[in-house]
A and B are shown apart, each in its own frame.
Chain A
C-alpha cells in the first residue's frame, strides 16, 4: 500500500494497492496525522486501490470519525467498481460521502 499527498485547498491523498490487515494500521496513522496537522478536510482518492478487506472498511470508518471529531470531513473519490460494490453492500454510501471523481469530491467541499 502506498499513499501520495497532493496539497491544495483540500488535500487529496491517493491510496494505491491493498488495504487489509497488513496495511490498515499504517493507513489510519497517515490519515490521522494529516487530519491533525491542520487538514481536517481530506479527500481519499481510491482509484488505485486494488484490494480491500474488512480491515479497510474499518480504516475508512476510523478516518471519518477522526476528521469529523475536529470539525472536518473525510470524503472518498473514484473507487473501482469492485471496491464500490463492497462499499455499497456495507452501506458506506449512507454514512460517507463518496464521489465518482476527485473533481466532484473537491467541488463538494465548496458547496
Chain B
C-alpha cells in the first residue's frame, strides 16, 4: 500500500517560504505529498501546496505579502493604545488588516478547502480558551488570516462562533494533526522565532518575550510528538547564517534555497522510507 506522506509547515513568518524549497526538492525526485498542514506563516504555504499553486506565483505572492505596508500604523497605534487614547479590546489589533486581506485575496481569491488537490488542515487558536483548532472547511483566505493573526498586531478573526488568533499561540508546528489524520510519514518543517540581542523599546522587549514563549511552546510540543507518538516524523529545520527580518523579502531566494538544501540532505532516506 502506498504510504501517506504529509507536509507540516510551522509558524515562522517569511522563513516559512523555505517550504517552497522543500516542495521543489521533493518534486525533483517525483515525491508528491498527500496532505498539507500549516500554522501561521506556514498556513500560507500549506495552502499554496494544497492548491497546487506554481512556485513562481508563490514567490511573487510572498514578496507582496511581506512588504512592510502590511503593518502600517503599528507604532502610532501602539502609542495610542498604551496611553488609552484608543480603546483596545480582545477584537483589536494594532494594525488594520485591510492590506493583509487584500494580499491574501490575491493569493487565494474565493478558493475554499474543496478546491485543493489534497487535504489541507490549518491550525488557529481559539481566543478565549487558548485551544488549538483545526480549520478544514470554508474559505482559505479566512483560515490563513485567522492562523496568521499575530497577537496584538493583527485583530483576531471571527469564524462561525469562534474568535481566532495566531495558531502559533497554541500549536506552532501541528504535527499532531498529521498524526491524527493517519499519515504514515510526516515531514515537519519548523522554525524558531529570531531572538533579539538588544532591545531599546517596549515593543521590542514585548516582541522578544513573545518569541521566547512561542519558541518554548514549539520545543515542548515538538518533543512530545516525536517521543510519545508512533508516527515517523522527519524534521527539516533549515539553518540561516544571516539575520532575516520579518519583511526581508529580498532574501526570498536564499530562504527558499536553504529549505531546498535542508530537504536535499534527507531526500534519499525519505525515498527509502516511502518505498519500504
Interface 0/1 of A63-106, CB less than 8 Å to B: 00000000000000000011001100111100000000000000
Q: Are B269 and A20 in contact (CB under 8 A)?
A: yes
CB neighbours of B265 from chain A (8 A) = 51, 82
Q: Is A28 an interface residue (CB 8 A)?
A: no
Q: Are B227 and A89 in contact (CB under 8 A)?
A: no
Interface 0/1 of B238-270, CB less than 8 Å to A: 010000000000000000000000100110010
Q: Are B227 and A20 in contact (CB under 8 A)?
A: no
Q: Which of B226, B262, B273 is close to A57, meaning CB atoms less than 8 Å apart? A: B226
Q: Is A107 an interface residue (CB 8 A)?
A: no
Q: Are B269 and A91 in contact (CB under 8 A)?
A: no
Chain A binding surface, main DSSP class: helix
Q: Which of A22, A53, A85, A92 is close to B233, meaning CB atoms less than 8 Å apart? A: A53
Q: Are A89 and B273 in contact (CB under 8 A)?
A: no
Q: Is B118 an interface residue (CB 8 A)?
A: no
Nearest Cβ in chain B — how far from A82, in angstroms?
7
Q: Which of B227, B239, B269 is close to A85, meaning CB atoms less than 8 Å apart? A: B239
Complexed CA–CA distance, A39 and B190 (Å): 38
Q: Are A90 and B237 in contact (CB under 8 A)?
A: no
Q: Are B232 and A55 in contact (CB under 8 A)?
A: yes
CB neighbours of B218 from chain A (8 A) = 89
Q: Are B266 and A58 in contact (CB under 8 A)?
A: no
Q: Are A57 and B232 in contact (CB under 8 A)?
A: no
Q: Is B234 an interface residue (CB 8 A)?
A: yes
Nearest Cβ in chain B — how far from A54, in angstroms?
4
Q: Are B234 and A53 in contact (CB under 8 A)?
A: yes
Q: Which of B227, B229, B232, B276 is close to A90, meaning CB atoms less than 8 Å apart? A: B227
Q: Is A61 an interface residue (CB 8 A)?
A: yes
Q: Are A90 and B273 in contact (CB under 8 A)?
A: no
Q: Are B269 and A51 in contact (CB under 8 A)?
A: yes
A61-B227, A86-B237, A89-B237 known; A18-B222 Cβ under 8 A: no
Q: Are A20 and B237 in contact (CB under 8 A)?
A: no
Q: Is B217 an interface residue (CB 8 A)?
A: no
A54-B231, A57-B226 known; A91-B220 Cβ under 8 A: yes
Nearest Cβ in chain B — how far from A48, in angstroms?
14
A-binding residues in B (CB < 8 A):
190, 192, 218-220, 222-223, 225-227, 229, 231-235, 237, 239, 262, 265-266, 269, 272-273, 276
B-binding residues in A (CB < 8 A):
18, 20-22, 50-51, 53-55, 57-58, 61, 81-82, 85-86, 89-92
A-B contact pairs, 26 of them (CB 8 A): A20-B232, A20-B234, A20-B269, A21-B273, A22-B272, A51-B265, A51-B266, A51-B269, A53-B232, A53-B235, A54-B225, A54-B226, A54-B229, A54-B232, A54-B234, A57-B227, A58-B227, A61-B227, A82-B237, A82-B265, A86-B235, A89-B222, A89-B235, A90-B222, A90-B226, A92-B223
Q: Which 6 pairs of residues, A with B, have the shortest CB-CB distance?
A: A54-B233, A54-B226, A51-B269, A90-B223, A91-B223, A21-B232
With A85-B237, A90-B226 given, name 8 new contacts (CB 8 A).
A22-B272, A53-B235, A54-B235, A57-B226, A58-B227, A89-B190, A90-B223, A91-B223
